[in-house]
Amino acid sequence: MENLKTVSALVKNILEHDTKARNTDNHLYLKVLEHYSVLRGIDIRSMPVPVFLKELDNHSFPGFETVRRSRQKVQATYPDLAPTESVGRKRSKNEMVYKDFALSEV
């Protein structure tokens, strides 16, 4: 597994240069995977999904949740890399719904 500081630095770099990545974790994750696939000499775009998913573990690509959390921390630290206002509101609303759901399950 990649060092969390290394993943966070990559996420910050991507967010600085790709505004779409600020608004969608799927796009951000694709950019992270593209970066690591080049380093490992793997063409992820030509792989069928089942093969690709197996390769995630075999090649120690960072997990989606690791990238999402890194994005969240980077955006909290660097407000200029925040998502658009509408995406930020939606994320906040989803976070509140999730917390309410988690508390009701206890």
Average pLDDT in the 15-27 region? 96
Cα–Cα–Cα angle for 8, 91, 54, rounded to 5 degrees: 50
Residue 9 CA: distances (Å) to CA of 4, 5, 17, 39, 71: 9, 6, 13, 16, 10
| Interatomic CA distance for residues 90 and 94, integer angstroms | 6
Average pLDDT in the 18-46 region? 93
Residue 97: which pLDDT band, with cuts at 50, 70 and 90? low
Q: What is the pLDDT of residue 1?
A: 46
pLDDT at 73 over 90: yes
Q: What is the pLDDT of residue 96?
A: 66
Q: What is the pLDDT of residue 106?
A: 58
